[in-house]
Amino acid sequence: MSGYTGTTPIRLVVSDIDGTLVRHDKTLHPETIKAAQELRDAGIVLCLVSSRPPRGMKMYLEALGLKTPHAGFNGGETVGADEQILDQLVIPGDAARTAVAHMTAAGLDVWVFAGDGWYVKGGDGPYVAHEAEVTRNTFTVVDDFEPYLDSTNKIMSSSKEFDRVARVEAELQGLMGEVASVNRSSPYYVDVTNVDANKGHAALALARIIGVSPEAMCCLGDMNVDVPMLKVAGLSVAMGNAADSVKAAAMVVTGTNDESGWADAIRTYVLPKAP
């Protein structure tokens, strides 16, 4: 790990899920479960953020015994422990249509998330079954996305050709300008959300809801989509498996998600500075 000399007590931990909180097989390391309990015992709140829809986070909230607000769709929707929507941002309709058209023309499999719905053009896309299993979410096959494009929280597209996904991310960032946020949430997914729907927005919203200052917040992540929240946190942690750009944006680097990196960061930097 790198050095960290902050003195502000940490009262809130905001963590990404995939690649950060969970291992590559989507299970929780036993030390992660223990460290989450240690946070609770110390009176430190743990909230989760993800590119997943909020209901795709439920299994981890239950496994960790969390009854706290959480944010899905990269900050596009923040919900309370009772699943009541506290904050929601949708993509402008014109931007949603541009994104869908470009992704489709590039040969990516496109999905649209609107409200509680996950809409696909076919259930045999390269990652549809994988996403359904991982998030325990169900999809609806539709012939046309048009009825949902004025109320879309997130658009995802996928391909097993990772270079193509990276190229589409860059192209859409140029096309979208300042009207939408475009980021890869994994090497095979590129996500489009409202321009203000990023994990920095989500982390600050969670801090306001919990009633703590950003200086008293620790954020942990592994992908470039996590960088906005790393930039607003009093303590920012990149996983050992993170991209170099993410590590450069963080104050400290911990072990990998397959190791006990998440728990090590909590025990080394957060718990010793508990209020």
**Side by side, which strands form the sheet with 189-194?**
140-141, 117-120, 109-114, 154-158, 189-194, 180-186
**Side by side, which strands form the sheet with 70-72?**
85-88, 77-79, 70-72, 45-49, 12-16, 217-221, 235-238, 252-253
DSSP 3-state of 219: strand
Which tokens is 156 given?
A: 């995802």
pLDDT tens string 108-160? 999 999 988 999 998 899 999 999 998 888 999 999 999 999 999 999 999 99
Which tokens is 15 given?
A: 């963590």
Residue 212 pLDDT exceeds 70: yes
pLDDT tens string 243-263? 999 999 999 999 999 999 999
Rounded to 10 deg, the angle between the 162-176 and 93-105 helix axes is 150
pLDDT tens string 7-34? 789 999 999 999 999 999 999 999 999 9
Domains and CATH numbers, the chain: 12-88+198-273 (3.40.50.1000), 93-194 (3.30.1240.10)
Name the one residue in this structure whose structure tokens are 């590559």.
Answer: 24
DSSP 3-state of 223: coil
